[in-house]
Amino acid sequence: MSDRTVLHVKGRVLVGPEDIRDELWMVDGRISYDRPAGARDVRTVVGWALPGLVDAHCHVGLDRHGPVPEDVAEKQALTDRDAGTLLIRDAGSPSDTRWIDDREDLPKIIRAGRHIARTRRYIRNYAWEIEPEDLVAYVAQEARRGDGWVKLVGDWIDRDLGDLSACWPRGAVEAAIAEAHRLGARVTAHCFAEDSLRDLVEAGIDCIEHATGLTEDLIPLFAERGVAIVPTLVNIATFPQLADGGESKFPRWSAHMRRLHERRYDTVRNAYDAGIPVFVGTDAGGGLAHGLAAAEVGELVTAGLPPVEALAAGTWAARSWLGRPGLDEGAPADLVVYDEDPRADVRVLASPRRVVLNGRVVG
């Protein structure tokens, strides 16, 4: 398609779950609901159009061993793109992926800088590994490097205890979150277990990743403070395998991981029922493949979210939460077209008919 081609989407355009229009136009990479005057070279795509999918917990430039070369990061981003994911919140990466911003053919990325973890309390080669007295300084550093987010590791296995435990004292996270907010950044944290959550939420955190330790007594606190969760259920599905691998050395941890896995769907449904914001994230780029946002939407439905709400968690609501436009007049033309209505069956998301990024068909 040439730069002068006008792209016309005709059928059903899902601007919002109830805001449905018959067509839109894409001119110079932007959305318009008015037919451009004098348009001659017009390409028409017919189907159900959605804003590009959102993966709010993804790692481009990272694999299970640490940072990867640019060509590998490019393949990761292309895999997400071709699956319809056009907006990524990169929830921690040691790689510098700013070069992606100059590529019109790759998804847009909102970065959280590099993970910040306690010394020897996270995956090797992933994070800045520091002690509590340095937390404020490192949070300030990553707030300046990121795109409005900072990522903490809230809990991890403590080898002396043989189980998951909180990484940071209350005073350290209070000061660090306050500093991030002063610099205009929101803060999220990796949390599998229960015992780090109250301190983080009461300290003012904005989001919790995974949130498998969210218990009934904590749900009202999350709801009152408006703290979002990104459950990454496609990742939590790996907990039994992880537990089996650690059984002989850390039996207490293994049993804990199995309990968290067993109640995962109840945890997410109870959070949703209480009004806690829930968003789609896959945790791709560590040990998990890219391109799984559609599968995560399906997992949210399995957990008990109504299909339209699960769809919103990876489209309209997620974009609003991240401060990025959807199919708005004048917005970047980032959308996915499907053969059927994804509100009726979210499994449709796994088979995009066309992927459009910056007004150009890329898949």
pLDDT at 38: 77
Say yes or no to pLDDT of 2 above 70.
Answer: no
pLDDT at 286: 85
Say yes or no to pLDDT of 51 above 70.
Answer: yes
- Are the beta carbons of 51 and 357 closer than 8 angstroms? no
Would you call 173 helix, strand, or coil by DSSP? helix
pLDDT at 350: 97
Alpha carbon 176 to chain centroid, angstroms: 22
- Are the beta carbons of 116 and 139 closer than 8 angstroms? yes
The two tokens of residue 273 are: 């029922």
pLDDT at 5: 77
Mean pLDDT in residue range 114-135 = 97
Say yes or no to pLDDT of 3 above 80.
Answer: no
The mean predicted confidence, pLDDT, of the chain is 96
pLDDT of 306-353, one tens digit each?
A: 999 999 999 999 999 999 999 999 999 999 999 999 999 999 999 999
Mean pLDDT in residue range 52-57 = 98
pLDDT at 4: 62
CA dist 3 and 273 (Å) reads 47
Which amino acid, one-letter code, is at 132? P
Mean pLDDT in residue range 258-282 = 98
Contacts of 52 (CB under 8 A, 6+ apart): 84, 85, 86, 87, 107, 334, 335, 336, 355, 357
Grade residue 1 by pLDDT with cuts at 50, 70 and 90: very low
pLDDT of 281-293, one tens digit each?
A: 999 998 899 999 9
Say yes or no to pLDDT of 19 above 90.
Answer: yes
The residue count of the chain comes to 363
The percent of residues in the chain predicted with pLDDT above 70, rounded, is 99
The percent of residues in the chain predicted with pLDDT above 90, rounded, is 95
CA dist 50 and 134 (Å) reads 43
Say yes or no to pLDDT of 361 above 60.
Answer: yes
In this prediction the pTM is 0.97
CA dist 103 and 140 (Å) reads 28
